[in-house]
Amino acid sequence: MKIEGLELLRLRMPLVTPFRSSSASEAVRDALLVRVVTPSAEGWGECVALSHPTYTSEYVDGAASIMATYLAPRLLVHNDVTGEGVGPLLADVQGHPMAKAALEMAVLDAELRADGESLAARLGGVRDRVEVGVAVGFEPSIEALLEVIAGHVDDGYRRVKLKIAPGWDVEPVAAVRERFGHDLALQVDANSSYAGADRSALAALDALDDFDLVLVEQPLAVDDLVGHAALGADLRTPICLDESITSTGAAETAIELGACSVVNIKAGRVGGVLEAVRVHDVCRQRGVPVWCGGMLETGIGRAANLALASLEGFTLPGDISASRRYFDVDVTPPFEQVGGWMDLPAGPGIGVEPLEGVLEEVCVHRQWLSASG
């Protein structure tokens, strides 16, 4: 498949509610989409890097630059590019998995649209709807947190993930359990905030065992697999790794060391949806459940996440909330959930494409790239 050109589109998507993490507060999603143009079809991908390099080393400006300068030219000079071939063609550029994942997704989407095949079918999906959950960031008070969760529960979500950090852990979790009981599937995400913590902070993780949590996600540093294994031996609550899982090899090592019993798979973090499938396969072979993480995606990335989460090993609800959880108007037709379930879009490729009118409103910059310059 010859790529006639690539377009990078920068979007500014105001968030319905600023998403507060331990390191930053995102009020606007600075999104980066990729459009691939071929003689037979167009394809779309989304780079999930955030505005600043505080969550990962990748960030939107850097991703756009590396795509335009190094990655896209490697694809444009070839007369026959496939989704499977994108990874090998870009392999000599070190790092930048989120940028590479966006290009792979766009090429794969174009290929599948031309073939009339859905992404879920190509990946080996086994379901046409997936169970989804919602992630809740830090709130200014426990009362505010409970009201936010109440709204999500009223909307039909049956699984909630809370952000935690030293000093904001046992008390909010206890309050949520008291208010909503044990029918609500509850998990917590530390984003490595307990790395280097003192004994009293780590004791709080022990105390969380009393609240029947689905899992505690990434409590320690990304590279501290030994520490996660030791912590996991002390906790009854399963440990899930997120940021530590950067490839199939990383997943194999973490499982072998006993550093986790659950894995959060993000296609952007591992370099593409095809590598995400390989991580899924490794985990499934070893009996480790997986779920699909979210990165404040627009409908483009959300559609791809749904296709990935349709694979058999994704047995836990993912962070694939409805569009209106994040945006008043999504760049694609909105995704909705009913009773904690979301349907996969029908149609070839990822099954959706941007609404031109909305795209024009939120797009702040376009860059066209082709072999001819």
The whole-angstrom separation of Cα 243 and Cα 218 is: 7
Which one of 2, 100, 161, 266 is the catalytic residue? 266
Active-site annotation holds for 163: yes
Q: What's the one-letter identity of residue 326?
A: Y
Strand partners, 12: 30
Q: At what angle do helices 273-285 and 299-309 cross, to 10 degrees?
A: 30
CB 189 within 8 A of CB 218: yes
Catalytic option among 2, 100, 161, 163 = 163
Secondary structure in 3-state letters for the chain: CCCCEEEEEEEEEEEEEEEECCCCEEEEEEEEEEEEECCCCEEEEEECCECCCCCCCCEHHHHHHHHHHHHHHHHHCCCCCCHHHHHHHHCCCCCCHHHHHHHHHHHHHHHHHHHCCEHHHHHCCCCCEEEECEEECCCCCHHHHHHHHHHHHHHCCCEEEEECECCECHHHHHHHHHHHCCCCEEEEECCCCCCCCCHHHHHHHHHHHHHCCCCEECCCCCCCHHHHHHHHHHCCCCEEECCCCCCHHHHHHHHHHCCCCEEEECHHHHCCHHHHHHHHHHHHHCCCCEEECCCCCCHHHHHHHHHHHCCCCECCCECCCCHHHCCCCCCCCCCCCECCEEECCCCCECCCCCCHHHHHHHEEEEEEECCCC
Q: Which residues pair with 222 in a beta bridge?
A: none
Spatial distance between the Cα atoms of 343 and 334, rounded to a whole number of angstroms: 12
100 is catalytic: no
Q: Which residues have a catalytic role annotated?
A: 163, 266
